[in-house]
């Protein structure tokens, strides 16, 4: 049995010796009952009445479901750091991946997130044509395939809770190729001792030699029949990657003092399992709900007659057949009393628990019978805000990757050092609004602001800020005014150009 320790004032191990117990807590017949009363007050009777779930051992206070382990913790749990131990993390990782592949509800939660966040894809728009060409060369590189990889990045970020992007750089032309490392292979993250949010390097656990690289040294080697592949020290010790240069980490669903991210499904795992078990039981119930058996009652029959009838009716009658008997026999069909209709609300309660954990409305999870159009519109706002927040994470991830592409291109001489590297990452609009209503409202707002401007109640900058804010666009008002001024200057310089007011400029 592994060593254990007790929290102050809690019960010691009941199998400890009298000497060990005397130093921890002296329990008499009266003291034992008072200690148990304190335990019941702290946890309640449910801790004793039912065994905890597996996830309770990950995040809860109980070590296992046996009575002697209540209120004890494993010494390997470093809960001053907010990351589970590596074995627990790997187990959660595998369970989330299994749920994504085997549980339709888990699959839908992840795919709905990707569909809303990424939509029809993202667009990269740079100010300088040379920067745009470098970014598009990287984006449409057959080795990167960023058009489809962005969906994989978003899906695996939601599924695993983190992404490790590895960079491969050609030192001669600055070409950058990226690859995703399975987070389950990263077993250690070394951070700055004074700053846990600053990673220094990542360790990939040993994966062993592969079929294409049998000697584990990075070069293929032809093996003679019966020869065993040589294993290098690197394949046994794993590999360290320098953070920022070789590998970059992106994590979600974590606190500031944690190193690893958490999957969107991690909190939902026990309820996804319960809902799946509930549906499986419903399938079995519906299968046997229509089953029945024949009950044959014989009036005044002795044992010999009963045995003879059992042999005669050893095979039940076929459907549609005719049964002919005298008044001494009574045939009746008996159906099981299942009462399956009473369990519908139980399944909905479990499904609602999953929906609130995933921050998805109930009608997103294939059940629209409990909401109408107005209710669905109001319930969708928190979900849309969640997807918009995930877009911010994806924008930061893509910006980190594209900044590295521009940095390597500049270092290789493809881009001059003074080039304008500014670019925008445009995501699809998530919020679905009525454009006719929005256009009518904007028109009334512009009329009201024009009247206020004529009365000197409002400045041009404030009016522009209100219009852009109402339209949901984040635009720098001062930068926009500069663009308008430059457009007027260009129109004045070009003879015969038409201004916004419809006046044609005349040559000097």
Domain finish residue from 74, 106, 135: 74
The tens digit of pLDDT for each residue in 430-458 reads: 765 555 566 677 778 788 888 888 888 88
In a domain, 408, yes or no: no
In a domain, 450, yes or no: yes
**196-221 burial string, b = 16+ CB within 10 Å, else e?**
eeebebbbbebeebeeeebebeeeee
The tens digit of pLDDT for each residue in 444-497 reads: 878 888 888 888 888 878 888 887 777 766 777 777 777 777 777 777 776 555
How many domains does the chain contain in total? 2
Distance (Å, rounded) from C-alpha 144 to C-alpha 83?
32
Q: 183 pLDDT exceeds 90?
A: yes
pLDDT band at 221 (very low <50, low <70, confident <90, very high): very low
C-alpha closest to that of 134 among 421, 357, 373, 465: 421
> Residue 442: which domain range?
435-493
**pTM of this structure:** 0.65
| pLDDT on residue 307 | 85
C-alpha closest to that of 187 among 82, 75, 88: 88
In a domain, 21, yes or no: yes
In a domain, 375, yes or no: no
Q: 50 pLDDT exceeds 80?
A: no
Q: 82 pLDDT exceeds 90?
A: no
| pLDDT on residue 24 | 38
Q: Higher-confidence residue: 137 or 321?
A: 137
In a domain, 197, yes or no: no
In a domain, 392, yes or no: no
Domain finish residue from 54, 74, 94: 74
Q: 506 pLDDT exceeds 80?
A: no
Distance (Å, rounded) from C-alpha 177 to C-alpha 189?
23
In a domain, 506, yes or no: no
Domain finish residue from 74, 102, 136: 74
- Sign of the CA dihedral running 347, 376, 157, 210: positive
| pLDDT on residue 170 | 92
C-alpha closest to that of 273 among 32, 103, 480: 103
The tens digit of pLDDT for each residue in 200-212 reads: 999 998 876 654 4
The tens digit of pLDDT for each residue in 331-387 reads: 877 776 666 556 667 777 778 787 777 777 777 776 655 555 555 555 567 788 888
| pLDDT on residue 290 | 66
In a domain, 340, yes or no: no
Q: How far apart are the first and last CA of the chain?
A: 97
Residues 6+ apart with CB under 8 A from 328: 298, 299, 300, 301
C-alpha closest to that of 256 among 83, 390, 60: 83
């Amino acid at each position: 049995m592994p060593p254990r320790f007790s929290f102050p004032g809690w019960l010691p191990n009941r199998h400890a010796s009298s000497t060990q117990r005397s130093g921890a807590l002296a329990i008499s017949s009266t003291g034992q009952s008072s200690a148990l009363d304190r335990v019941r007050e702290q946890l309640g009777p449910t801790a004793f009445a039912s065994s905890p779930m597996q996830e309770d051992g990950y995040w809860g206070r109980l070590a296992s479901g046996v009575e002697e382990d209540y209120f004890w913790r494993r010494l390997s749990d470093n809960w001053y750091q907010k990351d589970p131990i590596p074995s627990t993390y790997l187990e959660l990782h595998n369970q989330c991946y299994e749920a994504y592949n085997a549980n339709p509800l888990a699959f839908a939660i992840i795919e709905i997130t990707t569909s809303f966040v990424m939509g029809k894809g993202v667009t990269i728009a740079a100010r300088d044509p040379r920067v745009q060409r470098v970014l598009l060369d990287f984006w449409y590189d057959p080795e990167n395939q960023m058009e489809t990889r962005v969906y994989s990045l978003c899906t695996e970020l939601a599924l695993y809770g983190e992404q490790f992007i590895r960079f491969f750089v050609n030192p001669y032309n600055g070409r950058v190729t990226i690859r995703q490392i399975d987070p389950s292979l990263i077993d250690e993250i070394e951070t700055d001792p004074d700053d846990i949010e600053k990673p220094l390097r990542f360790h990939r656990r040993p994966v062993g030699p592969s079929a294409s690289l049998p000697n584990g040294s990075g070069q293929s080697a032809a093996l003679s029949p019966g020869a065993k592949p040589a294993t290098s020290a690197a394949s046994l010790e794993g590999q360290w990657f320098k953070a920022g240069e070789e590998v970059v980490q992106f994590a979600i669903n974590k606190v500031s003092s944690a190193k690893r991210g958490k999957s969107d499904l991690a909190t939902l795992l026990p309820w996804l399992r319960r809902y799946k078990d509930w549906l499986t039981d419903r399938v079995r119930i519906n299968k046997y709900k229509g089953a029945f058996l024949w009950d044959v009652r014989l009036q005044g029959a002795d044992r010999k007659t009963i045995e003879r009838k059992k042999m005669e009716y050893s095979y039940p009658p076929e459907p549609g057949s005719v049964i002919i008997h005298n008044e001494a026999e009574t045939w009746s069909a008996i159906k099981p009393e299942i009462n399956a209709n009473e369990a519908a609300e139980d399944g909905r309660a479990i499904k609602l628990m999953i929906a609130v954990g995933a921050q998805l409305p109930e009608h997103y999870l294939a059940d629209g019978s409990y909401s109408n159009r107005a209710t669905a519109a109001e319930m969708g706002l928190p979900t849309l805000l969640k997807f918009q927040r995930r877009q911010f994470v994806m924008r930061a991830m893509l910006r980190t990757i594209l900044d590295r592409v521009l940095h390597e291109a500049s270092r290789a001489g493809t881009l001059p050092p003074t080039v304008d590297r500014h670019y925008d990452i445009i995501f699809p609009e998530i919020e679905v609004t009525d454009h006719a209503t929005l256009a009518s409202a904007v028109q009334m707002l512009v009329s009201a602001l024009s009247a206020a401007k004529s009365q000197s109640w409002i400045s041009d900058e404030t009016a522009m800020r209100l219009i852009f804010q109402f339209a949901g666009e984040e635009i720098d008002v001062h930068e926009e005014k500069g663009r308008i001024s430059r457009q007027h200057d260009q129109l004045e310089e070009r003879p015969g150009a038409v201004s916004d007011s419809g006046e044609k400029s005349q040559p000097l």
